[in-house]
Structure 1
Amino acid sequence: MFGTSGVRGEFGEQITADLALEIGRAVAINGADCILIGRDSRTTGSVLLDAAAAGAREYGADVISIGYAATPTIARNVPWTDADVGIAVTASHNPPTDNGIKLWDSDGMAFDEEKQQRITEIVQSDEMSFNPSWNSVGATTVDTQAAHRRHRSALVDAAVSDHIGELSVVVDVGNGVGKITAEAFRDLGCTVNTLNANPDGKFPARPAEPTAEACTVLRQHVASTDADLGVAHDGDADRMMAVDETGSFVTGDALLALFAREAVSPGDSIAVPINTSLSVEDTVEQAGGNIVRTKVGDVYVATEAKRSEVVFGGEPSGAWIWPEETLCPDGPLAAIRLADLVANRGPLSDIVAEIPSYPLRRESHSVDDKHVIMDKIADHAQQYDSVTRVDGVRIETDDGWMLLRASGTESLVRLTAESRSSEKADQLLAEARDILQTYR
């Protein structure tokens, strides 16, 4: 039922009000007495939020509803309000036809696999067959403004540079619920311009995922003004991507390396997914730290980030976690941290230029049975000297690495290859493609 980032799919097909009702019930049956719930701007969000809240209340849990809210606002308010569980109704960066539900623990971290499995078992079992009591229905509290203020205040407090207020920043909200970033920048004294700031679940201005192509207007706007940087969020603002002062899109691997270098001290660790670039590893090692590789998915990064020696975790897709602040990916916090870096160090383009850039190749291939194919690929990989099976099959060579990995949400096998030379990267990708073709 759960994928790499909660329950997600097309509304009316995989995601229905019935499913939301059952998940709300399951969370209450599992012992949650107080549940905090909010949603992104998708047109189907109110239906799913009401259903999940009704299911939870039916089985005795009190519900704090914060309405429209960024997913990090929801996650961070769970411990701030002493709630037991958070429910975010969101499909994050997916298209407007999709929606989903992501669950957050009492410490503000996404449910791990064990807790997700427990909710699945309850939904699929007879545990919801007993009749709830008429006199133990949970109450509803509406808390839209206070939850927003708590997160906004934490963002302002996270800024450390005395010069951050001198910056001019463009924030592309993408018709999602990330306006809190612009508000926090204004609180800090920055000059702020916004793009696509009106919430609209159809995402008319651009796709919800802030890719380089989707951020074309942001790039053009920053390049044609005196803005110091631009930031862009996905639909629920758990992700943040950036544009430098020249209008150039900053890759996720470069951002990950920048944030990691700023956070790490000798002996510290950085948690990153298995598909992260060598540039991050090289940057962290030069600073005296080391890399811990995880499965793809922010919950796996967050799980490693709970360890005391891990000072930062992130994914090239735009999810950034500072465990001393929160165990959820917080796009607005990432925007503040990036602006801090620019205020202290100078133009973002100059800072990015300090990070090595290596040829990275990615492809996705449709397959009939990704699990059977990946089992065969794993057997094939035994002939290589250095193989990692954290998530898919990562094969290390003298020239670089290649990764063959089943998608967590689609019938795809994703191929990634990287080397310090373009020719070797192409060769590694071709080799990975040949391995896949042998067993598909």
Structure 2
Amino acid sequence: MFGTSGIRGPVGDEVTAELALRVGRAVGAETDRVVVGRDPRTSGELLVDALAAGLRELGTDVVDLGVAATPTVARAVGWEDGDAGVSVTASHNPATDNGLKLWQPSGQAYDAEGRERITERVEADDPALQPWDRLGDRRRADATDRHVAALVRSADPLELSVAVDVGNGAGGVTADALVELGCHVETLNAQPDGRFPGRPSEPTAENCTALSTLVAEGDYDLGVAHDGDADRTRAVAGDGTFLSGDALLALFAADAAEPGQRVAVPVDTSLAVEDYLAERDVGVTRTPVGDVYVAEAATDPDVAFGGEPSGAWIWPEATLCPDGPLAAVRLAEMAAEEPLAERLSRIPTYPIRRANVEVDGKAAVMARVEERVLESYDDVETLDGVRVQTDDGWFLIRASGTQPLVRVTAEARDAGRAETLADEARTLVEAAR
């Protein structure tokens, strides 16, 4: 039921009011107070109502934040003395989708054990419904101002010109915080609208051309972009360059970690990040793909930062939820010290190759691939798929979570070697079909 980032899928098909009701009842079975919030999607209000009804039927009180960024919801669990939080969001997915993501009081998403508990209760569908005089209450609250205040306290005053592409989502907290810090802010797509008319929700280079153009042609030090619930942040340097996810990960990690510390990154992260950090005596802890797993690794006291190239960034001293507005503030701090374009010039770039192989029975194919890889290679990780490290590169073979595909990624410091590793990986998949 849970993917790498909560429950997510098409509304009216995989995600329904009935599902939200059952999740509410399942979470309510182990909580007394739950904080809920949603992104602006058209279906969000209906799903929050069903979720809240399920929670209240179990006697759980509901603190409803209304439309709020996912990191605001996650932070508010602790602020409201809650036992859990639920964001009704499909994050960067299109308007047709919605979902539910569950938070612990620490701001960390539910771990594997917690997700399994909730799944079992949802599937059993046998809740201990309470009588009329023991139902939970539901009250409205606003946590956005408190989120803004926390961000402002985390930084010194800034004098920058920043363009913020909110993406018609819930990330207006970023603009508010930057203004409070002293920045001149211009917004794009700032009106919350769950249809995402300004651009698709995912803040990719292709979807953020308007932001890149605005920054390049205007007098801006920085551009930032969020997805629908503002757990993701991507960046544009002052010269209009849209930073790759790996480059942004390298910059954040180098800024956050001291020599001797480590950062948590998923298994598909570029070798360039590891090389850039190694120069600073910062190590890398690899995790399965998904911010849930990065957050789990970030609970280790030696891990100063966790991030995914997709745009999820975690500073464990602040919160274990990917906090897009916090990432925007940290970017502004870095840009104030040195332009991002100059920082970017010091990060290496290596050739990377990606391919998809269509298969029947991807689980069986991956089992055969893993067996053959373990027989043939020495440095192998099986955290998420099969990752092979060589002296001059790596390749990753990993099943798609939603499609009948096995994904192949290969990278090396030399283009010819990257091609060779990609060919090796594809051959392994083809032989296992």
TM range (shorter): over 0.9
Matches of 1:131 and 1:183, distance apart in 2 = 42
Deviation track 1:323-354 (CA, whole Å, cap 9, x = no partner) reads 0010000011001001101111x211001111
1:207 Cα deviation from its structure 2 partner = 1.1
Alpha carbons 2:34, 2:61 under 8 Å: kept: yes
The alignment of Structure 1 onto Structure 2 pairs a total of residues equal to 432
Question: Structure 1: which amino acid aligns with 2:153?
Answer: D
Counterpart position of 2:363: 371
Matches of 1:83 and 1:9, distance apart in 2 = 27
Tell me which of 383, 387, 405 is aligned to 2:398.
405
Correspondence 1:284 to 2:277:
yes
Counterpart position of 1:353: 345
Alignment of 1:296-307 (within 5 A): 296-307=289-300
Counterpart position of 1:218: 211
Aligned pair in 2 of structure 1 residues 398, 388: CA closer, same or farther (>3 Å)?
A: same
Matches of 1:341 and 1:319, distance apart in 2 = 18
1:407 Cα deviation from its structure 2 partner = 2.3
1:426 Cα deviation from its structure 2 partner = 2.0
Counterpart position of 1:57: 56
Alpha carbons 2:22, 2:125 under 8 Å: kept: no
Correspondence 1:109 to 2:114:
no
Indicate the SS of the match to 2:316. coil
Matches of 2:185 and 2:48, distance apart in 1 = 32
1:409 Cα deviation from its structure 2 partner = 3.4
Matches of 2:12 and 2:358, distance apart in 1 = 24
Alignment of 1:303-318 (within 5 A): 303-318=296-311
Counterpart position of 1:18: 18
Alpha carbons 1:178, 1:237 under 8 Å: kept: yes
Aligned pair in 2 of structure 1 residues 131, 343: CA closer, same or farther (>3 Å)?
A: closer
Indicate the SS of the match to 1:436. helix
Matches of 2:296 and 2:404, distance apart in 1 = 26
Matches of 1:220 and 1:365, distance apart in 2 = 36
1:86 Cα deviation from its structure 2 partner = 0.3
Deviation track 1:165-209 (CA, whole Å, cap 9, x = no partner) reads x21000001111111101111111111010011111111121111
Question: Structure 2: which amino acid aligns with 1:62?
Answer: D
Counterpart position of 2:383: 390
Segment drifting more, 405-414 vs 259-268: 405-414
Alignment of 1:87-236 (within 5 A): 87-128=86-127, 130-144=128-142, 147-160=143-156, 162=157, 164=158, 166-236=159-229
Aligned pair in 2 of structure 1 residues 366, 9: CA closer, same or farther (>3 Å)?
A: farther
Alpha carbons 1:38, 1:49 under 8 Å: kept: yes
Matches of 1:327 and 1:312, distance apart in 2 = 10
Structure 2: gaps spanning 5 or more residues = none
Counterpart position of 2:312: 319
1:81 Cα deviation from its structure 2 partner = 1.1
Question: Structure 2: which amino acid aligns with 1:369?
Answer: G
Q: How high is the TM-score relative to the length of structure 2?
A: 0.98
Structure 1: gaps spanning 5 or more residues = none
1:127 Cα deviation from its structure 2 partner = 3.2
Matches of 2:154 and 2:356, distance apart in 1 = 38
1:126 Cα deviation from its structure 2 partner = 4.9
1:408 Cα deviation from its structure 2 partner = 2.7
1:134 Cα deviation from its structure 2 partner = 1.7
Question: Structure 1: which amino acid aligns with 2:362?
Answer: K
Alignment of 1:230-245 (within 5 A): 230-245=223-238
Matches of 2:5 and 2:278, distance apart in 1 = 29
Deviation track 1:143-174 (CA, whole Å, cap 9, x = no partner) reads 03xx01111111111213x5x2x210000011
Matches of 1:74 and 1:314, distance apart in 2 = 20
Alpha carbons 1:4, 1:409 under 8 Å: kept: no
1:363 Cα deviation from its structure 2 partner = 2.7
Indicate the SS of the match to 1:249. coil
State the percentage of identical aligned residues. 56
Correspondence 1:274 to 2:267:
yes
Indicate the SS of the match to 2:133. coil
Indicate the SS of the match to 2:134. coil
Matches of 2:172 and 2:52, distance apart in 1 = 25
Matches of 2:94 and 2:11, distance apart in 1 = 11
Alpha carbons 1:27, 1:119 under 8 Å: kept: yes
Deviation track 1:58-112 (CA, whole Å, cap 9, x = no partner) reads 1100000001011000001111111001000000011111110000011111001
Question: Structure 2: which amino acid aligns with 1:154?
Answer: A
Matches of 1:75 and 1:410, distance apart in 2 = 30
- When the two chains are superposed, the root-mean-square deviation of aligned CA atoms in Å is 1.1
1:43 Cα deviation from its structure 2 partner = 0.8
Counterpart position of 1:2: 2
